[in-house]
Amino acid sequence: MAIRPILIIPEPQLRQISAPVLKIDRDVEKLVADMLETMYDAPGIGLAAVQVGVKKRVITIDVARDDAPKDPIALINPEIIAVSEETSIYNEGCLSIPEYYEEVERPARVTVRYQDLKGAMQQTEAEGLLATCIQHEIDHLNGILFIDHLSRLKRDRVIKKFTKAARREAEA
Ligand code: NI
């Protein structure tokens, strides 16, 4: 396993659409292992493959509390097939937008269909933080960031701040 560097906005790859995984082979197993290690190291509760520069439809999640045993899940080719009308609001963050948090409203419950690492189809209903996390990570696979759910004013302000920071770093 290895910790992979996490891409930060305004990195253009974060805006690209990830491709379906056609075959779950050793490369995908290795990717998932690395993503989990990278996610725990960050630390974060969710990661999409595109955030480490791999444009494949793979996400890893662990929303277990710090005092609880680890509960990692890997979702391959995940798809939301139903959402609740009821919504919930969470203060979201993203490893690709470090140290920025904002409240986002999303459906409170989702049904997600995906393949596990053995290639078996799974379907699960999620609520609470897990439901929000699944939606946030699947957004990444479609080039969407949580700041896209904010007002244009807020979003532009964040992008500007990170664009400036990236420019400073490039010049340094
Ligand atoms: Ni994110």
Measure 67 CA to ligand 1 centroid, in angstroms: 23
Ion ligand 1 contact residues with beta carbon within 5 A: 94
Query: How many A from CA of 146 to the centre of ligand 1?
Result: 7
Which residues 6+ apart lie within 8 Å of 155 measured at CB? 147, 148
Ligand 1: centre distance to CA 171 (Å): 27
* Residue in 11, 137, 169, 171 annotated catalytic: 137
pTM for the full predicted model: 0.97
Closest CA to 127 of 149, 106, 103: 106
Pair 34, 1: CB distance under 8 Å: yes
> How many residues does this entry show for the chain?
172
Cα separation, 53 vs 49, in Å, equals: 7
Residue 96: other Cβ atoms inside 10 A: 25
120-163: pLDDT as tens digits: 999 999 999 999 999 999 999 999 999 999 999 999 999 999 99
Q: 79-129, pLDDT tens digit by residue?
A: 999 999 999 999 999 999 999 999 999 999 999 999 999 999 999 999 999
Is 85 a known active-site residue? no
Question: How would DSSP label each residue in 36-52?
Answer: HHHHHHTT-SEEEGGGG
